[in-house]
Amino acid sequence: MMTERAATHGAMSMGPRAPVKNLSRERMQAELRNLRTLAVELERERNELMERARAPDTNKGVNALVEACRGIVNSEYERRKQAEELNARLREKLDEHIAVIERLKELIDQRSRIDGGGSTDGEKSQDSRHLRFENGLIREFLNDVHVGYRMTDSIVDTVDWDGESHHRSWRVDTRMGRCNGRPQRVLEIQKQFKDPVSSFVHGEGDLKSWRYLAQYFQSSPFSVDELIIQEDMMAIRYRRVYSYRGRDIRVSISWVIERFVEANREVRVWRIKVVGLGGVDGENAMIDKTAPFVDVVGWLVVQPAEQGVVTRICAHLVPGFLCSEDAETAQDESSPHLGDLVSYVLQSLQMDISRANDQLAKK
């Protein structure tokens, strides 16, 4: 009996057991599920990339359009900048040409009045020598004068005017300038005058010395060929003979001067060309093609002082030959040598300006 119960109890205790967990298999199954999920995700990303590749790249298109627009804008900016610079230069030239045309119109009006008998005898005697001034020469000189006026500060303000030598005598120096667009060493003369008698009128400048210059030209003892006197411009062409080292030197002088009245100063710029003449003096005296010449550009600045006015003068002298630098050896004895001509122009400028200043101080 005990044996059967024990057997029954043993049979009952030997029933089905719970399955044992396989950790390795579960780990592999988990990894498999993860891989499947990852594969699905990768496939989705691949499909998106393929769709993007097949569709047009709008970002690149926009960037290319922006770059193209930027290039067009930059190109247009450069073109407009160049056009504005060109327009400024053309406007400057146009203003100069307008000034020349206005002066030529005044000459035509003067000639019309003389031909029509509308002028008095005094006007005829004053204007009869005005009418043959070479238009090309006056236009060239006026252009140079206007260029020189724009250079006034860069010329006059670079001189040390505080030195005592500028009050007593002329100072001669050399300076690097420009002639026909090329660097050129020029001879510069400098002088400062103080005139306690003259006065500077705002808006009018120093009319006293300007009117004196007009009177000097009108009463000139030289052989005057042509003369123009206007409110703010004078031009004269004349011939004269001077003695230098025992020789009579004949020259032809063309001179244009213009005044510019500013708020607190008056600027006068002049252009002179002195050319040696060969042969006999008179109406038939000719300028040889190899004649020496001296070009002069001058600046005169008048400013009010505590007493009277102070006048500062700078002039640049550039010597040369009309045709060739070797022309001096080909000149005949009646023609001036270049060195003699430079000495004459230098001394003449100093003496004439100093004499005029002394006479003004006595008036």
How far CA 83 is from CA of 80, 93, 219, in Å, comes to: 5, 15, 50
Is there a domain that residue 295 lies in? Answer: yes
The whole-number pLDDT of residue 140 equals 81
Question: For residue 4, is pLDDT > 60?
Answer: no
- Give the CATH number of the domain where residue 160 resides: 3.30.530.20
The label of the residue with tokens 């160049």 reads 82
Number of helical (H) and strand (E) elements in the chain, helices listed first = 9, 8
What letter would DSSP give residue 206?
-
Mean pLDDT of 288-295: 71
Question: For residue 112, is pLDDT > 80?
Answer: no
Straight-line distance from the first to the last Cα atom of the chain, in angstroms, rounded to the nearest whole number: 172
Q: Quick one: 350 exposed, middle or buried, by C-beta within 10 A (0-12, 13-18, 19+)?
A: middle
Task: State pLDDT tens for residues 76-98.
Answer: 888 888 888 888 888 887 877 77
Most confidently predicted of 91-95, 178-182, 226-230:
226-230
Is there a domain that residue 73 lies in? Answer: no
DSSP reduced 3-state for 151? coil
The whole-number pLDDT of residue 139 equals 80
DSSP reduced 3-state for 359? helix
How far CA 357 is from CA of 143, 208, 234, 349, in Å, comes to: 28, 11, 18, 12
What letter would DSSP give residue 160?
-
Q: At what angle do helices 207-218 and 338-362 cross, to 10 degrees?
A: 120
Query: What average pLDDT does the structure give for the chain?
Result: 74
Question: For residue 49, is pLDDT > 60?
Answer: yes
Most confidently predicted of 17-21, 23-27, 225-229:
225-229
The number of folded domains in the chain is: 1
If pLDDT is split at 50, 70 and 90, which confidence band does 299 have?
very high
Q: What is the DSSP string of 129-142?
A: TSTT--HHHHHHHH
Is there a domain that residue 259 lies in? Answer: yes
The whole-number pLDDT of residue 288 equals 56
CA distance linking residue 72 with residue 62, whole number of Å: 15
Is there a domain that residue 39 lies in? Answer: no
The dihedral through the CA atoms of 329, 284, 255, 94 has a sign that is negative
CA distance linking residue 177 with residue 185, whole number of Å: 6
Question: For residue 219, is pLDDT > 60?
Answer: yes
The whole-number pLDDT of residue 295 equals 86
Backbone angles phi, psi at 139, to 5 degrees: -65, -45
The whole-number pLDDT of residue 81 equals 87
Ramachandran sector of residue 255 (left: φ over 0; alpha: ψ -120 to 50; beta: rest) = beta
Contacts of 238 (CB under 8 A, 6+ apart): 220, 222, 223, 224, 225, 252, 253
Lowest mean pLDDT among 6-20, 240-254, 255-269: 6-20
Mean pLDDT of 53-74: 71
Where does 230-291 show beta strands of DSSP type E? 233-244, 247-261, 266-276
Q: Give the percent of the chain with pLDDT over 90.
A: 7
State the pTM of this model.
Answer: 0.57
Is there a domain that residue 211 lies in? Answer: yes
Domain that holds residue 178: 129-362
Is there a domain that residue 24 lies in? Answer: no
CA distance linking residue 255 with residue 238, whole number of Å: 9
Is there a domain that residue 2 lies in? Answer: no
Contact indicator for 178, 184 with CB cutoff of 8 Å:
yes
Most confidently predicted of 101-115, 207-221, 295-309:
295-309
Task: State pLDDT tens for residues 230-247.
Answer: 889 999 888 888 777 777
CA distance linking residue 67 with residue 105, whole number of Å: 55
The label of the residue with tokens 């030997």 reads 14
CA distance linking residue 246 with residue 264, whole number of Å: 47
The whole-number pLDDT of residue 123 equals 39
The whole-number pLDDT of residue 59 equals 59
Question: For residue 162, is pLDDT > 70?
Answer: yes
Is there a domain that residue 67 lies in? Answer: no
